[in-house]
Protein backbone atom coordinates (compact mmCIF):
# COMPACT_ATOMS: atom_id res chain seq x y z
CA UNK A 1 0.00 0.00 0.00
CA UNK A 2 1.48 3.33 -1.06
CA UNK A 3 -0.08 5.51 1.63
CA UNK A 4 -1.35 4.90 5.12
CA UNK A 5 -4.31 7.11 4.41
CA UNK A 6 -7.11 7.46 1.91
CA UNK A 7 -6.54 9.72 -1.06
CA UNK A 8 -2.98 10.57 -0.07
CA UNK A 9 -3.90 11.57 3.48
CA UNK A 10 -6.07 14.54 2.50
CA UNK A 11 -8.90 13.52 4.83
CA UNK A 12 -6.52 13.81 7.79
CA UNK A 13 -5.44 17.38 7.04
CA UNK A 14 -6.79 20.02 9.36
CA UNK A 15 -7.62 22.38 6.51
CA UNK A 16 -9.45 19.67 4.59
CA UNK A 17 -11.51 18.83 7.69
CA UNK A 18 -12.27 22.48 8.25
CA UNK A 19 -13.24 23.20 4.65
CA UNK A 20 -14.59 19.91 3.30
CA UNK A 21 -15.72 17.44 5.97
CA UNK A 22 -15.15 17.70 9.69
CA UNK A 23 -15.88 13.96 9.94
CA UNK A 24 -12.62 13.26 8.08
CA UNK A 25 -14.26 10.98 5.54
CA UNK A 26 -14.92 10.60 1.86
CA UNK A 27 -17.21 10.60 -0.07
CA UNK A 28 -18.21 14.25 -0.11
CA UNK A 29 -20.60 15.64 -2.72
CA UNK A 30 -20.30 19.31 -3.60
CA UNK A 31 -23.34 20.62 -5.46
CA UNK A 32 -24.75 24.10 -5.88
CA UNK A 33 -22.42 25.47 -3.20
CA UNK A 34 -23.38 22.90 -0.57
CA UNK A 35 -21.25 20.03 0.69
CA UNK A 36 -22.85 16.76 1.68
CA UNK A 37 -21.15 13.84 3.37
CA UNK A 38 -22.34 10.36 4.37
CA UNK A 39 -22.96 8.19 1.35
CA UNK A 40 -26.58 7.34 2.30
CA UNK A 41 -27.46 11.00 2.56
CA UNK A 42 -25.66 11.72 -0.73
CA UNK A 43 -27.59 8.91 -2.44
CA UNK A 44 -30.88 10.20 -1.02
CA UNK A 45 -30.06 13.71 -2.26
CA UNK A 46 -29.11 12.44 -5.74
CA UNK A 47 -32.27 10.30 -5.96
CA UNK A 48 -34.42 13.29 -5.02
CA UNK A 49 -32.57 15.64 -7.36
CA UNK A 50 -32.47 13.35 -10.40
CA UNK A 51 -35.48 11.09 -9.75
CA UNK A 52 -33.28 8.08 -10.53
CA UNK A 53 -33.16 4.97 -8.33
CA UNK A 54 -35.59 6.79 -6.05
CA UNK A 55 -38.36 5.36 -3.86
CA UNK A 56 -41.83 5.54 -5.39
CA UNK A 57 -43.69 5.94 -2.08
CA UNK A 58 -43.19 6.46 1.66
CA UNK A 59 -42.96 2.80 2.54
CA UNK A 60 -40.29 2.21 -0.12
CA UNK A 61 -38.39 5.16 1.30
CA UNK A 62 -38.48 3.57 4.76
CA UNK A 63 -37.28 0.24 3.36
CA UNK A 64 -34.46 1.98 1.50
CA UNK A 65 -33.30 3.72 4.68
CA UNK A 66 -33.55 0.48 6.66
CA UNK A 67 -31.14 -1.20 4.24
CA UNK A 68 -28.83 1.80 3.96
CA UNK A 69 -28.53 2.01 7.76
CA UNK A 70 -27.85 -1.72 7.95
CA UNK A 71 -25.25 -1.20 5.24
CA UNK A 72 -23.48 1.60 7.09
CA UNK A 73 -23.56 -0.23 10.37
CA UNK A 74 -22.81 -3.77 9.26
CA UNK A 75 -22.74 -4.86 5.62
CA UNK A 76 -20.17 -2.53 4.12
CA UNK A 77 -18.51 -1.34 7.31
CA UNK A 78 -17.33 -4.72 8.60
CA UNK A 79 -16.38 -5.88 5.11
CA UNK A 80 -14.51 -2.67 4.20
CA UNK A 81 -12.55 -2.71 7.47
CA UNK A 82 -11.65 -6.37 6.95
CA UNK A 83 -10.59 -5.63 3.36
CA UNK A 84 -8.43 -2.73 4.54
CA UNK A 85 -6.69 -4.66 7.32
CA UNK A 86 -6.41 -8.10 5.77
CA UNK A 87 -6.59 -7.57 2.01
CA UNK A 88 -4.72 -4.28 1.63
CA UNK A 89 -2.59 -3.67 4.71
CA UNK A 90 -1.82 -7.40 4.86
CA UNK A 91 -2.09 -7.42 8.66
CA UNK A 92 -2.32 -11.23 8.63
CA UNK A 93 -4.92 -13.21 10.50
CA UNK A 94 -5.56 -11.80 13.97
CA UNK A 95 -8.48 -11.94 16.42
CA UNK A 96 -9.54 -8.60 14.95
CA UNK A 97 -9.64 -9.84 11.34
CA UNK A 98 -11.40 -13.01 12.48
CA UNK A 99 -14.03 -10.96 14.28
CA UNK A 100 -14.52 -8.64 11.32
CA UNK A 101 -14.86 -11.58 8.91
CA UNK A 102 -17.42 -13.30 11.14
CA UNK A 103 -19.47 -10.11 11.34
CA UNK A 104 -19.14 -9.48 7.58
CA UNK A 105 -20.20 -13.07 6.81
CA UNK A 106 -23.24 -12.72 9.09
CA UNK A 107 -24.28 -9.54 7.29
CA UNK A 108 -23.65 -11.09 3.84
CA UNK A 109 -25.82 -14.09 4.83
CA UNK A 110 -28.70 -11.78 5.70
CA UNK A 111 -28.43 -9.95 2.37
CA UNK A 112 -28.01 -13.20 0.42
CA UNK A 113 -31.12 -14.67 2.07
CA UNK A 114 -33.10 -11.55 1.28
CA UNK A 115 -31.96 -11.60 -2.36
CA UNK A 116 -33.14 -15.20 -2.65
CA UNK A 117 -36.68 -13.76 -2.72
CA UNK A 118 -36.24 -10.58 -4.75
CA UNK A 119 -33.92 -9.44 -7.56
CA UNK A 120 -33.19 -6.11 -5.86
CA UNK A 121 -33.30 -5.13 -2.20
CA UNK A 122 -36.44 -3.02 -2.01
CA UNK A 123 -38.47 -3.60 -5.12
CA UNK A 124 -38.40 -5.30 -8.51
CA UNK A 125 -36.25 -2.43 -9.77
CA UNK A 126 -32.91 -1.16 -8.46
CA UNK A 127 -32.93 1.70 -5.96
CA UNK A 128 -30.29 3.65 -4.07
CA UNK A 129 -30.40 0.91 -1.41
CA UNK A 130 -28.83 -1.45 -3.96
CA UNK A 131 -26.26 1.15 -4.96
CA UNK A 132 -25.35 1.73 -1.32
CA UNK A 133 -24.75 -1.92 -0.50
CA UNK A 134 -23.24 -3.13 -3.75
CA UNK A 135 -20.23 -0.76 -3.99
CA UNK A 136 -17.72 -2.77 -1.98
CA UNK A 137 -19.01 -6.05 -3.39
CA UNK A 138 -17.08 -5.11 -6.56
CA UNK A 139 -13.86 -4.91 -4.53
CA UNK A 140 -13.23 -8.51 -3.54
CA UNK A 141 -9.54 -8.15 -2.66
CA UNK A 142 -8.24 -11.17 -0.81
CA UNK A 143 -10.37 -11.01 2.34
CA UNK A 144 -10.90 -14.70 3.06
CA UNK A 145 -14.67 -14.28 2.57
CA UNK A 146 -16.40 -17.51 1.40
CA UNK A 147 -17.86 -15.88 -1.73
CA UNK A 148 -19.29 -19.22 -2.95
CA UNK A 149 -21.72 -19.09 0.00
CA UNK A 150 -23.45 -16.06 -1.46
CA UNK A 151 -24.90 -17.02 -4.89
CA UNK A 152 -27.74 -14.50 -4.72
CA UNK A 153 -25.35 -11.66 -3.99
CA UNK A 154 -23.35 -12.80 -7.05
CA UNK A 155 -26.46 -12.67 -9.29
CA UNK A 156 -27.49 -9.27 -7.90
CA UNK A 157 -23.98 -7.91 -8.47
CA UNK A 158 -24.15 -9.08 -12.12
CA UNK A 159 -27.61 -7.53 -12.62
CA UNK A 160 -26.35 -4.18 -11.37
CA UNK A 161 -23.20 -4.45 -13.49
CA UNK A 162 -25.49 -4.89 -16.53
CA UNK A 163 -27.39 -1.64 -15.92
CA UNK A 164 -26.79 1.03 -18.58
CA UNK A 165 -23.90 3.34 -17.67
CA UNK A 166 -22.47 1.07 -14.93
CA UNK A 167 -18.83 1.73 -14.15
CA UNK A 168 -16.53 -0.04 -11.75
CA UNK A 169 -16.08 1.94 -8.49
CA UNK A 170 -12.33 2.21 -9.14
CA UNK A 171 -13.08 3.97 -12.45
CA UNK A 172 -15.19 6.57 -10.65
CA UNK A 173 -12.65 7.50 -7.99
CA UNK A 174 -10.46 10.53 -8.42
CA UNK A 175 -6.70 10.09 -8.69
CA UNK A 176 -4.73 6.86 -8.83
CA UNK A 177 -6.84 3.82 -8.16
CA UNK A 178 -4.13 1.67 -6.63
CA UNK A 179 -3.82 1.97 -2.87
N1 LIG B 1 -20.60 6.10 6.79
C2 LIG B 1 -19.68 6.78 5.90
C3 LIG B 1 -18.37 6.02 5.87
C4 LIG B 1 -17.33 6.76 5.08
C5 LIG B 1 -15.96 6.14 5.23
O6 LIG B 1 -15.67 5.36 6.16
N7 LIG B 1 -15.09 6.51 4.30
C8 LIG B 1 -13.74 6.01 4.35
C9 LIG B 1 -13.27 5.66 2.94
S10 LIG B 1 -14.26 4.42 2.23
C11 LIG B 1 -12.85 7.12 4.87
O12 LIG B 1 -12.91 8.24 4.40
N13 LIG B 1 -12.00 6.81 5.83
C14 LIG B 1 -11.02 7.74 6.30
C15 LIG B 1 -10.58 7.43 7.69
O16 LIG B 1 -11.30 6.68 8.38
O17 LIG B 1 -9.55 7.94 8.08
C18 LIG B 1 -20.29 6.89 4.50
O19 LIG B 1 -21.07 6.00 4.14
O20 LIG B 1 -20.02 7.87 3.78
Is the CB of 6 inside a 6 Å radius of any atom of ligand 1?
Answer: yes
How many other β-carbons are positioned within 10 Å of the β-carbon of residue 135? 17
d(CA 55, CA 53): 7
Q: How confident is the model at residue 147 (pLDDT cuts 50, 70, 90)?
A: very high
Tens digits of residue pLDDT in 128-141: 999 999 999 999 88
Kindly state if the Cβ of 159 falls inside 6 Å of ligand 1.
no
**Rounded alpha-carbon distances, angstroms, from residue 88 to 6, 31, 82, 114, 132:** 12, 32, 9, 29, 22
Domain-wise residue ranges, the chain: 6-50, 58-161
Residue with CA at minimum distance from ligand 1 atom 13:
25
Please tell us whether the domain made up of 58-161 is placed in CATH 1.20.1050.10: yes
Smallest CA-to-CA distance from 59 within 136, 143, 123 is with 123
* Cα–Cα distance measured from residue 46 to residue 36, given in angstroms and rounded to the nearest whole number: 11
For residue 117, the CA-to-ligand 1 centroid distance in Å is 31
179, pLDDT greater than 80: no
Nearest-atom number in ligand 1 for the CA of 38 is: 20
Q: What is the pLDDT of residue 3?
A: 40
CA-42 nearest atom, ligand 1: 20
**What's the whole-number mean pLDDT along residues 84-92?**
93
- pLDDT at position 6 is 63
Cα–ligand 1 centroid distance for 25 (angstroms)? 4
Determine if ligand 1 sits within 6 Å of the CB of residue 135.
no
pLDDT score, position 4: 46
Cβ neighbors of 108 (< 8 A, separation 6 or more) are 75, 79, 145, 149, 150, 153
For residues 130, 40, 21 and 167, what is the CA-based torsion angle, rounded to 10 degrees? 20
Determine the atom of ligand 1 nearest the C-alpha atom of 132. 19
pLDDT at 7 over 80: no
Look at strands 28-31 and 34-37 and give their pairing. Answer: antiparallel
DSSP secondary structure code for residue 166 in this structure: -
pLDDT at 9: 82
Is 21 close to ligand 1, i.e. is its CB under 6 Å away? no
Quick check: helix, strand or coil at residue 171?
A: helix
Q: Ligand 1 centroid to 26 CA: how many Å?
A: 5
Whether 104 has a pLDDT exceeding 60, the answer reads yes
pLDDT of residue 175 exceeding 80: no
Ligand 1 atom nearest to 6, measured from its CA: 14
Amino acid sequence: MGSRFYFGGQTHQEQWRREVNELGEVPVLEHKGAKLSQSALILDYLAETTGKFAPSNASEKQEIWRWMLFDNHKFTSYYATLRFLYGIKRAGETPVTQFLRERAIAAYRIVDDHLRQTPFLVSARPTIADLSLVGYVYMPEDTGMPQEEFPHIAEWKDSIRNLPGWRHPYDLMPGPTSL
